Structure formats: C-alpha cells, structure tokens
C-alpha cells in the first residue's frame, strides 16, 4: 500500500506533550488556510508517494527511543487505509497513537476510536463554527462539492464524537492566533463560548502564529509580525473571565 507522506520526524519531544513520538506528516489537505506553514505538503503530489512498509520500517527502527506515533499533516484523516495500517502496526508494537486533524472527517475519527487505534486527538478549532464567513476566511475550505456550512457541520460532528469518547482519549483543541485574520477578542470569545457549550473535558491551546516558521501559503502572511506572547495571554485571560472552567494553555515564545 502506498500513502502520500510529506515527511517523517523520527523523534519529537514537543509535538505530543509527555511523549516521545515519531511524527508522520501526511501530505494533502482539504483546507487552504492562508497562514498554513506546511504549504509544501498540502497537495496530493506524486513526489510524496511512499510505501507504507517503509514507514513501518522507520517506526520499528525508532522503537527503543519512542513511546508514541503521531499522525500530522497536511490532513492525515484523508488517507484512511494507510492510517489504519500504520496505526494498527504501532499499537501492536506497544506504542500510543495520536492524530492532529482539522476535524472534517468525523467518520474516520470514529472508526479509529472504535477500533482502539487512537489515544490522542489534537483538533484545530480554527474559527467560531457559528461564524461561517470568518470560518471560510480562515480555512478557505469551500469547494464546488462542499459548502462552508457542510465543512463546519463535519467539524461539529467530530467534536461531538470526541465529547462522547472523552473517557477513552486525551483531547486537545487548538486555535492559532493570526494577525489580520483570527485575533479579535470577540471572535476568540465566541470560540470559548462554543467550546464551553460542547462540554468537552480537554485543554484548549491558544497558539501564536509564527511567520518565521515553515513556508507560509499566502505571501501576505509571510512578513507580518507575530502576535506577542502577552497578547495571546490577554486573550486567554479575557476568555477565562467569562468561562472560568475552561483549561486554556498558551503556546507562545
């Protein structure tokens, strides 16, 4: 079996807190977030095709040093066959398995949970789901075949699946704070309100956009100033004033 793989990091201590993991970056994505820092791997291009058996070999090689495998991307959930194959292999090797996702494939996340392949889900909460215009601006996810509202509905379903399985999973929600795009107090507070409404027991990370990291998709975001750590901290405090039960982390330097 072949898979579109944009790259593999043999060992990472930062991508999944408290775990040392091999990170597999699946190529191809159904979003086109203008601030995407992995823009070189969001297309399904033949140059990214790799044999799944070579990916397994890489995991086996790292076994003495890692305790987990993390699927990242791109959008890993668009490649069900390879995900199931590699995830099942990793579990047999005694490793934990996690996925980072934009949430548009609820049926795949459900399948992986039901088959006991997943231990961790990091899901992007890119914009308020109740604000279709802003969600589209942040994700550029609408296509000829799928409206923004349908994309939002998929993300909502994934969040509901996570909520219904939160006793079996470690869950992290993530929002990237991007100047000019998704940074206003009222928008971040809308996300906080929605997360509070979902009732998911998880941490919510507010991440600082870093224009100096990776290759940014839209050149307009290439040279903008990164939001200051204090700015992100202030957003956190603002949300906590209204929703004190949320567990909010700030990822910023």
Angle at 8 between CA 108 and CA 213, to 5 degrees: 100
Look at residues 147, 231, 242, 226 and name the one whose alpha carbon lies nearest to residue 194: 242
Task: Please state, in angstroms and rounded to a whole number, the distance separating the CA atoms of residues 205 and 125.
Answer: 9
Q: How far is the CB of 75 from ligand SF4 (least distance, A)?
A: 5
Which conformational region is residue 180 in: left (phi greater than 0), alpha (psi within -120 to 50 degrees), or beta? left
- Return the residue of 74, 82, 122, 128 that touches ligand SF4, per CB under 6 A: 74
32 is a site residue for ligand SF4 (CB under 6 A): yes
| Residue found by looking up tokens 């929605």 in the block | 194
Task: Please state, in angstroms and rounded to a whole number, the distance separating the CA atoms of residues 117 and 111.
Answer: 9
73 is a site residue for ligand SF4 (CB under 6 A): yes
Task: Please state, in angstroms and rounded to a whole number, the distance separating the CA atoms of residues 39 and 172.
Answer: 23
Q: How far is the CB of 52 from ligand SF4 (least distance, A)?
A: 21
- Only one of the segments 69-77, 80-88, 109-117, 227-235 lies at the binding site for ligand SF4 (rule: CB under 6 A); that segment is 69-77
Nearer to ligand SF4, 25 or 120 (CB): 25
- Only one of the segments 17-25, 34-42, 52-60, 86-94 lies at the binding site for ligand SF4 (rule: CB under 6 A); that segment is 34-42
59 is a site residue for ligand SF4 (CB under 6 A): no
User: Which residues contact ligand SF4 (rule: CB under 6 A)?
Assistant: 29, 31-33, 36, 38, 42, 73-75, 102
């Amino acid at each position: 079996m072949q898979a579109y793989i944009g790259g593999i990091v043999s060992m990472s201590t930062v991508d999944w807190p408290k775990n040392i993991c091999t990170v597999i970056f699946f190529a191809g994505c159904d979003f086109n977030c203008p601030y995407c820092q992995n823009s070189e791997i969001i297309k399904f291009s033949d140059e990214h095709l790799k044999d799944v058996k070579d990916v397994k070999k890489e995991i086996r090689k790292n076994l003495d040093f890692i305790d987990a495998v993390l699927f990242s991307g791109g959008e890993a959930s668009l490649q069900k066959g390879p995900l199931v194959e590699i995830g099942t292999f990793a579990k047999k090797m005694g490793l934990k398995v996690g996925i980072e996702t934009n949430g548009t494939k609820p049926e795949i996340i459900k399948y992986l949970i039901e088959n006991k392949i997943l231990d961790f889900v990091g899901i992007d909460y890119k914009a308020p789901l109740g604000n279709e215009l802003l969600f589209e601006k942040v994700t550029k996810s609408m296509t000829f075949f799928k409206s923004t509202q349908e994309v939002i509905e998929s993300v909502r379903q994934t969040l509901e699946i996570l909520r219904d399985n939160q006793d079996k999973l470690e869950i992290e929600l993530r929002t990237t704070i991007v100047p000019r795009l998704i940074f206003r107090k009222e928008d971040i507070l809308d996300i906080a309100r929605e997360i509070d409404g979902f009732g998911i027991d998880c941490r919510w990370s507010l991440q600082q956009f870093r224009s100096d990291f990776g290759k940014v998709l839209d050149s307009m975001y290439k040279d903008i100033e990164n939001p200051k750590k204090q700015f992100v901290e202030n957003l956190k405090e603002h949300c906590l004033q209204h929703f004190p039960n949320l567990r909010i982390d700030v990822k910023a330097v």
